A and B are shown apart, each in its own frame.
Chain A
Amino acid sequence: MKVAISSAGYSPEALVDSRFGRCACFVVYDTESGQRTFEPNPYRITGEDAALKAAQMLLSSGVKRVYAGQFGIRVEEFFQKKGVQMVVLTRPFVVADILMMFEKCRGATEQNIDRNTRKE
């Protein structure tokens, strides 16, 4: 499954951006392969509907879950309709922290299911 984290910068040390639509970039992480990419957010300086446009972009790239500090009311409705899971982080997190938690979960399931897949 693909998940996206709204990040304030292009590095794992960056903080998770509190605003979904206006974040600098999205970290797209594949929970199965462990692959991660930084996708720029082309809508962060757009006049309006930044969040909706960004949401559409993530949706079309197959993202099923998004992490951010907050979601606006319209984008919340959009994601609800499309069946995308939203996770609101109530404390400030660094992107690397979250990636580490993913790795941990992935490691745990891998040990149970498939020992052959190599962890990154």
Chain B
Amino acid sequence: MTCVPAVSGFKPYGKNLSDEEREVVFLLCEEYESIRLCDYERLTQEAAAVEMEVSRPTLTRIYRSAREKVAKAFVEGRQLVIEGGKVYYASGWFVCKECGSLFNDPSGHNGGDGCPLCGSRSVEKTEDGTKREKQNEER
């Protein structure tokens, strides 16, 4: 995942929840991510699967489960909590055109702070967002 969900959940309003309705729906982080990629970023499921590093059928499963949960929360007026799941947040990798070093950018500025080694501003994202491929090419 490249970005953290903006909120950790959603609460319904306009009705007093009875105790039994107070049960929340847990949306896993990967399910959130699948909705973000498929519906918000409008990727195809194929592309979203590549982004999340899972197979296309797995992505479809995650996505279907995500939609079912969102629908359940909507229709039954449940609270939605985004949490858990098997994720790790990856900031992409960048390469400096001056000195050739590779680096990631946890600050979220997308390499805008320049190369952490030589300070050059001419940096770009590595082609696939990881450090490996590029490294191998250079060797």
Contact = CB atoms under 8 A, between A and B. Distances in A.
A104 B114 CA distance: 15
Interface in B25-55: none
Given A77-B88, A81-B89, A87-B103, A67 B135 contact: no
Contacts of B118: 101
Interface of A is mostly: mixed
Given A85-B105, A85-B106, A90 B88 contact: no
Contacts of B119: 101, 104-105, 108
A88 interface: yes
A89 B90 CA distance: 20
A70 interface: yes
A88 B99 CA distance: 11
Contact of B102 (A65, A87, A98, A104): A87
Contact of B117 (A77, A79, A84, A98): A98
Contact of A91 (B89, B90, B99): B99
Nearest to B107: A85
A90 B102 contact: yes
B116 interface: yes
Interface in A45-88: 65, 67, 70-71, 76-77, 79-81, 83-88
Given A98-B117, A101-B118, A86 B103 contact: yes
Contacts of B19: none
A88 B116 contact: no
Contacts of A80: 88-91, 104, 106
A88 B89 contact: no
A70 B101 contact: no
A84 B102 CA distance: 14
Contacts of B102: 87-88, 90
